Amino acid sequence: MIKKSSVLVVVDVQNGFIRDASAPVVPVIRDLVQRWLDEGGDVVFTRYINYEGSPFERLIHWTKLRDAPEVDIVPELQPFVGRATAVLDKTIYSLFTDEGRDLIDRHGWTDLYVCGIATESCVLKTAVDAFELGYTPWVVADASGSHAGQVAHDAGMLVLKRFIGAGQIISTKTLPGA
């Protein structure tokens, strides 16, 4: 049974982030979202939207994910978008925009189960921000991946274990009393 204080945060599983390295995680996330919703849990999808003049463009010269279809949530998750508690558009790595914090506080969520793309950036930043803001982050390792490949995913997992605690890294098979 999923507690009312828990939410599944599906980070940036968008067309523009799907590559050979990240594609295998999509069916795992799809199954997790289906199970979570079927058990009556809340789900939040995030979508990263880049913009002209963003720090991503100015500092790392990255200009992707500005428009559809790149910014769209992948087709495998589209059937769940209408059942989600929210779809949050963001222009930063983290869920924790003003709107994201308001959404979390309004619903009384304290435990954030985080999965998605990319482990070493948006998943990591969302989990670390949750930790630093007093929430309890759980990162679902097998439902997270990186379009930059396994080395980037593993690096993200290493940093997450150090930043939020190894006990906060779980799998879809070992979800605690979510």
- Residue pLDDT, tens place only, 89-138: 999 999 999 999 999 999 999 999 999 999 999 999 999 999 999 999 99
CA angle 94, 143, 125 (to 5 degrees): 20
pLDDT in tens, 15-71: 999 999 999 999 999 999 999 999 999 999 999 999 999 999 999 999 999 999 999
Contacts of 4 (CB under 8 A, 6+ apart): 108
Contacts of 65 (CB under 8 A, 6+ apart): 14, 16, 17, 48, 49, 50, 71
Sign of the Cα pseudo-torsion (29, 35, 38, 43, in order)? negative
pLDDT for residue 177 is more than 70:
no
The C-alpha atoms of residue 154 and residue 170 are separated, in whole angstroms, by 14
Burial of 17 (0-12, 13-18, 19+ CB in 10 A): buried
The C-alpha atoms of residue 161 and residue 155 are separated, in whole angstroms, by 10
Structure token digits, residue 16: 């523009």
The reported pTM is 0.97
pLDDT for 175 equals 83
pLDDT for 1 equals 81
CA torsion, ordered 156, 177, 32, 115, to nearest 10 deg: -20
DSSP 8-state class, residue 27? H
How many residues in total does the chain contain?
Answer: 178
